[in-house]
Structure 1
Amino acid sequence: MKFSLIIFTLLLAKPVFAEEKKPEKTLSQKLEDKKYYYSALNEFFRETYSREVINDDLKRLEDLLYYTGIELLEDYDPSLLNRYPTSSTRFILGRQAMQKKDYKRALDLFGKIHPDHRYFPEGKLLEAQVYDQQNIPKSRLTAYEACQNSAEKNEGSAKTDKIKRYYRMVYEICLVNKARHHFKVEEYQESLDAYNKIPKQSYKWPYLLLEKAWVYYQMGDYNRALGLLTTYKSPLLDTYFFPEAEYLAALSYFRLCLYEDSLTIINQFYKEYRPRFQALDAVLKQNRNSQNYFYNLMFKPGEELKKHEEFVKHIITRMKKQTRFSLDFNAIFKINQEMKRIAHNEKPVIQERLNGHLAQVKENMINKINYNAKTDIFQFLEGVPFLSSELFKLNLEIISRKKDLIYGNKKLIADRSRGDYSNVKRSRFEYFWTFQGAFWADELGDYSLGLKSNCQTVRNQTTEEE
Structure 2
Amino acid sequence: MLKKSIIAFLLMGQVFALESIWTDLTKSRNRIARYPHIIKLLIEKEMYHTAVPYVKEYLVTYKGRTNKDFERLFEKVVSKVGDRQFVLLPEQYLSKIDSPTLKYLLAKKLLKRRKYKEALQTLNGTIPAGHPVKAFSLHLEGMAFTMQRGFRAAISAFERCVDMSTSSDDEVRARQLQINHDYCLAGIARVKYEQKKLDDAELSFIDVDKRSYIWPELLIEEAWNSYYKGDYNRTLGKLVTYKAPVLNYIVNPEINVLKALSYFKLCLYDDMSKIIDDHYAEFDKSKQVIDKMIARKHSLEWYFNFINSFVDGKKYYDPLTNKVLRNVSKDPAFIQLFQSYKAGLREISNIKKVRNRRLRKILAINLKDSLMLQQKLIGSYTKRTFKLVSAQLEKSFIGLSYLRLEALNARKAKLYSGITDTGARGDIKYLKRNSKQYFWSFNGEFWADEMGDYVFALRSECQ
Q: Return closer, same or farther for 1:261/1:100 CA change in 2, 3 Å cut-off.
A: closer
Preserved CA contact (<8 Å) 1:131 1:139: yes
Give the Cα–Cα distance (whole angstroms) in 2 for the partners of residues 359 and 385 of structure 1.
Answer: 39
Cα-to-partner distance string for 1:182-203 (whole Å, 9 max, x where unaligned) = 1122111111111111222112
Q: Return closer, same or farther for 1:237/1:149 CA change in 2, 3 Å cut-off.
A: same
Give the Cα–Cα distance (whole angstroms) in 2 for the partners of residues 162 and 268 of structure 1.
Answer: 41
2:261 paired residue among 251, 255, 259:
251
Give the Cα–Cα distance (whole angstroms) in 2 for the partners of residues 14 and 78 of structure 1.
Answer: 28
Preserved CA contact (<8 Å) 1:294 1:373: yes
1:227 paired residue among 232, 237, 244:
237
1:93-108 equivalent positions in 2, closer than 5 A: 93-108=106-121
Partner residue in 2 for 1:167: 177
Partner residue in 1 for 2:282: 272
Is 1:122 aligned with 2:136?
Answer: yes
1:333 Cα deviation from its structure 2 partner:
1.8
Secondary structure class of the residue paired with 1:311: helix
Q: Return closer, same or farther for 1:347/1:178 CA change in 2, 3 Å cut-off.
A: same
Give the Cα–Cα distance (whole angstroms) in 2 for the partners of residues 320 and 375 of structure 1.
Answer: 14
1:150 Cα deviation from its structure 2 partner:
1.9
Give the Cα–Cα distance (whole angstroms) in 1 for the partners of residues 146 and 55 of structure 2.
Answer: 37
Q: Return closer, same or farther for 1:45/1:260 CA change in 2, 3 Å cut-off.
A: closer
1:448 Cα deviation from its structure 2 partner:
1.4
Preserved CA contact (<8 Å) 2:117 2:144: no
Q: Gaps (5+ residues) in structure 1?
A: 1-8, 17-22, 457-466
Number of positions where the alignment pairs a residue of Structure 1 with one of Structure 2: 432
Preserved CA contact (<8 Å) 2:49 2:81: yes
2:325 paired residue among 301, 316, 319:
316
Is 1:177 aligned with 2:187?
Answer: yes
Give the Cα–Cα distance (whole angstroms) in 1 for the partners of residues 115 and 25 of structure 2.
Answer: 47
Give the Cα–Cα distance (whole angstroms) in 2 for the partners of residues 258 and 61 of structure 1.
Answer: 58
Secondary structure class of the residue paired with 2:419: strand
Preserved CA contact (<8 Å) 1:62 1:86: no
Give the Cα–Cα distance (whole angstroms) in 1 for the partners of residues 72 and 426 of structure 2.
Answer: 65
Preserved CA contact (<8 Å) 2:52 2:370: no
- Residue type at the aligned position of 1:126: L
Preserved CA contact (<8 Å) 1:41 1:61: no
Partner residue in 2 for 1:52: 65
Preserved CA contact (<8 Å) 1:144 1:174: yes
Preserved CA contact (<8 Å) 1:132 1:140: yes
Preserved CA contact (<8 Å) 2:227 2:262: yes
Partner residue in 2 for 1:87: 100
Preserved CA contact (<8 Å) 2:208 2:215: yes
Give the Cα–Cα distance (whole angstroms) in 2 for the partners of residues 119 and 174 of structure 1.
Answer: 14
Partner residue in 2 for 1:421: 428
Give the Cα–Cα distance (whole angstroms) in 1 for the partners of residues 73 and 253 of structure 2.
Answer: 48
Give the Cα–Cα distance (whole angstroms) in 1 for the partners of residues 181 and 451 of structure 2.
Answer: 23
Give the Cα–Cα distance (whole angstroms) in 2 for the partners of residues 67 and 307 of structure 1.
Answer: 36
Q: Which deviates further from its counterpart, 249-258 or 69-78?
A: 69-78
1:32 Cα deviation from its structure 2 partner:
4.2
Scaled by the length of structure 1, the TM-score of the pair is: 0.84
Scaled by the length of structure 2, the TM-score of the pair is: 0.84
2:450 paired residue among 436, 439, 443:
443
**RMSD of aligned alpha carbons:** 2.9
Preserved CA contact (<8 Å) 1:37 1:67: yes
Partner residue in 1 for 2:122: 109
1:258 Cα deviation from its structure 2 partner:
1.0
Partner residue in 2 for 1:306: 316
Q: Return closer, same or farther for 1:245/1:139 CA change in 2, 3 Å cut-off.
A: same
1:359 Cα deviation from its structure 2 partner:
0.8
Give the Cα–Cα distance (whole angstroms) in 2 for the partners of residues 321 and 30 of structure 1.
Answer: 34
Is 1:147 aligned with 2:161?
Answer: yes
Give the Cα–Cα distance (whole angstroms) in 1 for the partners of residues 454 and 77 of structure 2.
Answer: 48
Partner residue in 2 for 1:464: none
Cα-to-partner distance string for 1:81-116 (whole Å, 9 max, x where unaligned) = 434322111111112222334333311222212221
Secondary structure class of the residue paired with 1:452: coil
1:286 Cα deviation from its structure 2 partner:
1.2
1:401 paired residue among 402, 410, 414:
410
Partner residue in 1 for 2:365: 356
Larger relative contact order (Cα-Cα within 8 Å, sequence gap ≥ 6): 2
Cα-to-partner distance string for 1:243-288 (whole Å, 9 max, x where unaligned) = 111111111111111111111111222333223223322223213x
Cα-to-partner distance string for 1:54-88 (whole Å, 9 max, x where unaligned) = 43444444455455444432354544443432211
Name the larger-Rg structure: 1
Give the Cα–Cα distance (whole angstroms) in 2 for the partners of residues 110 and 212 of structure 1.
Answer: 31
Q: Return closer, same or farther for 1:14/1:393 CA change in 2, 3 Å cut-off.
A: closer
Q: Return closer, same or farther for 1:362/1:451 CA change in 2, 3 Å cut-off.
A: same
- Residue type at the aligned position of 2:121: D
Q: Return closer, same or farther for 1:299/1:334 CA change in 2, 3 Å cut-off.
A: closer
1:305 Cα deviation from its structure 2 partner:
8.7
Partner residue in 2 for 1:293: 302
Give the Cα–Cα distance (whole angstroms) in 2 for the partners of residues 26 and 272 of structure 1.
Answer: 57
